[in-house]
A and B are shown apart, each in its own frame.
Chain A
């Protein structure tokens, strides 16, 4: 190996994750005071939801944003939940060490990167110098634990400023966390409200209370008792592996042979399918996985990704809303006249399972608009920014989707909810705001939209028929007095009332309506003639 001379003036250093994210905080959504305020609320609320519904707890979340006396632009954000709490021994790391998480698992969660809460704390700390305060009590614990923490940015370690334990006589469980940050409420306000509203749409089983810095309180009480099915942790799917992951898996299992390794490390791979795969790949089933060199590992990873006969990835790791929850959420918040939702069967892209769900809300209090109102969700979190570059927009855009075929003619009062549940949502950037157009996902979105739109069409068709029937009846009924009077006057030997009754019964016959249907159509109809 020849040594290359290092250029003298170049300096090298390494960075801890906390330093990296301190310098590049805009990557995580903390670029400006208004964005930071929104992002902080969002990270804390999503942690709170992750600690509740996933564990079968109906969430009760209180969000309070207060303006501090001491400085104009300092805000204290407090979020309290009734979740599973945090084991006190992990609290310092969970909130004081960037890239520490309980969610590095193959299972759907809102949080993912082990970053969110810490970014808020870090941002608050550097802008205001204030520590984070946490109260928490895990389920079954008889104490409530209190921590006041800061992050040692240089070393990516928590600094505990104070610690306390309190009695927990009522066996309260959950977490309450408070951070102080520099923010801009007036500019963040509408986004924050929109975020909370959209969160409420997706969690009609949650009680959410929000108190803003001006003292306004809004509440979203749950309208449904049902929780979404919780996700299960699963083993990786062979289609999704790369060399690094393969190495890690081999390190973590005790398997002595390749075939044992495949069966124990991957989901959906049994003895028979492992044999078939190895035969196809031309690999010896007896090889010791721990002795594979890099080129063989590369070969194995590639073959695993390419073998067409593995069972599709399991969707057990996913937690879709389910149609009932989507419909309840849309109904409770948007007050439409009609809702429909569909949950598609699981599909996969590159070994990652995903489920697409689409809900449509129509009419009622939804305002008329020249294009559908889009409510995007990925792993149950609402996406607010960069809507037009999202694959969901591409699919529902009236320029690509023929809404007319489904009797929707713009301007129309229509809102579309899309949800992508996946162990890996293909975000376009680190900001987690828009989803890339992966063909499989786009295809499923379109199928889901069609399926839901067909139901909307049936509804609109039925409605149109009813309206027409009603219009007919009203027209005929309103002219009936005049017609009856005319005939009664001219003929002289029959009175108006009788002619009217005869006309009504001929009308029912003509329109094939029984008395009950007819009564329903004319209920409340009043007619008078001003001569």
Chain B
């Protein structure tokens, strides 16, 4: 039995497609050279200035600015070479049925070009020195080929976890996400190769904090409330974002996101919802524009107009943490982003800046895990007390 037979069909299909796209895209470069032109790779610019918030679709997208990276341009020549080098390594890995990580790719491509100048001086130059450089080249290849790294079978560390009443097929196995014991299913780096088999849930709850996720899991929150429970364990990786997006898009499940009540938590939410600035080219596939911020919100803590706070005066005194200068600075930054300029977010940010107070989700479990699971979350969902 050949090794291929152990490999998932979905993998093989993905590889074939990626290989084909590579050949097509790089054929264009060869044609330029054949015509005696300056070989040029056209890429959208990956800068904040070229990041556009699409208000209609509520997505952070790459703008129209293009960068042309030409081989016969003194300042771009090396990057051009790096791009071809990285493309070759990825291509070879695809052909050989390998699953490199970005670190593997860094090492595979790192070597020394030794050259002796006509004057006799010997120079040594590395194709790249730090992983930061090779990572950036990978991003360039993603935008050039239109393939995400997952589609090129490049792996990264698994970070996100999921449990819930749901069965999936991955690598030929059917996995029941309701039978994970105290553990959880680690969301694989290639979530597009997952097939949804069946699901019995009403919504998706994403928790920023791994600890809170575990607590909710152990008291059977997802079973009782018919939820798919997910944690991103901090800043979400691409796989978690893609997985959440698929749950929303393909299964029509509403997505609620629970983070700390501070600018850092808000940004995590916005990455799920509209995409990140550094990876804005992937927003189209990774972002979940319908995601809702369930809390913890400033109005949950302090109340607002007719809304009563969830915390008493005493609890506030116990749980609230004083905002640091960095938090305040970050809040001012967020206030400048278009996508935070809605009425409800303005209220949130203003309360924060006025009170200079932040709160961790754990504060709610301290008040009582049951309070969080059976009162706070269901009540907010029922009454529509979230921010869109």
Contact = CB atoms under 8 A, between A and B. Distances in A.
Interface of A: 470-472, 474-476, 478-479, 482-483, 485-487, 489-492, 494, 499, 502-503, 505-507, 509-511, 521-531
B342 interface: no
B87 A486 contact: yes
A479 B71 contact: yes
A527 B29 CA distance: 24
B116 A486 contact: no
A504 to B, nearest CB: 10
Residue from B38, B81, B91 having most chain A Cβ neighbours under 10 A: B81
B115 A527 contact: yes
A506 B37 contact: yes
Interface in B93-111: 111
8 contacts: A474-B115, A476-B72, A482-B81, A482-B84, A487-B84, A490-B87, A499-B30, A530-B113
Contact of B23 (A472, A490, A510): A490
Given A482-B84, A486-B88, A489-B88, A509 B77 contact: no
B88 A490 contact: yes
A529 B111 contact: yes
B128 to A, nearest CB: 11
A257 to B, nearest CB: 75
Given A478-B113, A506-B72, 8 more contacts: A475-B74, A479-B81, A485-B84, A487-B26, A494-B30, A505-B36, A524-B118, A529-B112
Contacts of A491: 23, 26-27, 30
B84 A486 contact: yes
B214 interface: no
A529 to B, nearest CB: 6
Nearest to B114: A528
Interface string B20-34: 001100110110011
A25 B111 CA distance: 74
For chain B, the bracket of interface size reads 35 or more
Nearest to A525: B118
Residue from A475, A507, A531 having most chain B Cβ neighbours under 10 A: A475
A531 B116 CA distance: 17
A471 to B, nearest CB: 7
A37 to B, nearest CB: 44
B167 interface: no
Contacts of A527: 113-115
Contacts of B116: 524-526
B85 interface: yes
Contact of A490 (B22, B39, B72, B125): B22
B117 interface: yes
**Ordered nearest first, which 5 A-B pairs have the shortest CB separation?**
A486-B84, A479-B81, A524-B118, A486-B88, A526-B116
Nearest to B85: A482
Given A527-B113, A527-B115, A510 B38 contact: yes
Contact of B72 (A485, A510, A528): A510
B316 to A, nearest CB: 60
Nearest to B110: A531
Contacts of B74: 471-472, 475
B80 A483 contact: yes
Given A479-B77, A490-B26, A507 B84 contact: no
Interface string B112-154: 1111111110000101000000000000000000000000000
A490 B91 contact: yes
Contact of A476 (B30, B77, B113): B77
A374 to B, nearest CB: 30
Contacts of B111: 529-531
Nearest to B27: A491
Nearest to A492: B23
B115 A482 contact: no
A483 B38 contact: no
B85 A524 contact: no
B198 to A, nearest CB: 41
B388 interface: no
A141 B372 CA distance: 127
A482 B26 contact: no
A530 B112 contact: yes
Contacts of B87: 486, 490
Given A485-B88, A490-B88, A525 B115 contact: yes
Contacts of B37: 506
A530 B114 contact: yes
Nearest to B91: A490
B195 interface: no
B333 interface: no
Contacts of A485: 84, 88
B38 A486 contact: no
B32 to A, nearest CB: 8
Contacts of A507: 72
